[in-house]
Amino acid sequence: MDPKSVLLTDRVAIVTGGGAGIGRGIARGFAAFGARVVLFERDEKSGRDAAAEIEREGGEAFALTVDVRDGEAVAAAVSTTVERWGRIDILVNNAGGVFAAPFLETSEKGWDALHRANLKHLYHCCHHVGRHLVAQGTGGSILNVVSIEGVRAAPLYATYAAAKAGAINFTKTLALELAPHGIRVNALAPDICVTEGLRALMPPEAMERATRTVPLARLGDPSDLAGAAIFLASELGRYVTGETLHVDGGTHASAGWYHHPDVGRYVYGPPPAAREPTGESTT
């Protein structure tokens, strides 16, 4: 065991949706550990800004404006990556999207849109990068960023949850198919992670309530996902494939249990502020 095994020196990593949030955090983490990072980002400005940030921090990065729902665009971007840096070693499928809606009010168009954003793009990216990795013959690592919603019921998010569940099973199956080529395929499943988008949607008091549901007593940060991604992409994770790693502060394990701030022990149910009034103080 060598401490240098965690380094990603000179490896080329593609991170989709790398311009913001979890993708940006993973991209920065990879660069800090020596990888050359290519950001596939639909928003040109955020991709460019993220690449510039990585370079200011001493890393190597460039951004390509790519809609990963478009197979031809992905193929072109993969070719550009190889032309620029000669190889690909790591793929992180982080791009995605979500909206809340009762299932019976979800249109077929809405269903298709969420599956294109959260599942079909895995086909495009894994297909084109996977073929390159096999031809390259040096192994590699593919990471799919999924969600805790892929393994639990998710009212108002049935379509999204179905797509993420599909991504989890796809991860397992692709891991077996690519294992003979030395290519490992794993997934990262966050729960509540504080990103720019979450800050815009969730007021501070809602974040404080959500924190009570997390056994480690804080919400996630993109750097938490970056640490897990570095482990799985590096030689430290060389014997791990087909797995979904929950990076969620323990919420998957808790399954509804939370540490009550008043009684000082675990109780089952919603946080105090979400309970129906009982005449007793719960805060």
87 class by beta-carbon count within 10 Å (0-12 exposed, 13-18 middle, 19+ buried): middle
Q: Report residue 77 CA to chain centroid gap.
A: 20
Cβ density class 249-266: b for 16+ within 10 Å, e for less: bebbebeebbbbeeeeee
Specify the 3-state DSSP secondary structure of 91. strand
Helices (H), the chain: 21-32, 44-56, 71-85, 108-115, 121-136, 158-178, 196-201, 204-211, 222-233, 251-254
Q: Which DSSP symbol is given to 192? A: S
The residues annotated with a catalytic role in the active site are 160
20, 31 contact by CB (below 8 A): no
Sequence-distant (≥ 6) Cβ neighbours of residue 4 within 8 angstroms: none
The CB-side HSE value for 263 (13 A sphere, CA atoms) comes to: 11
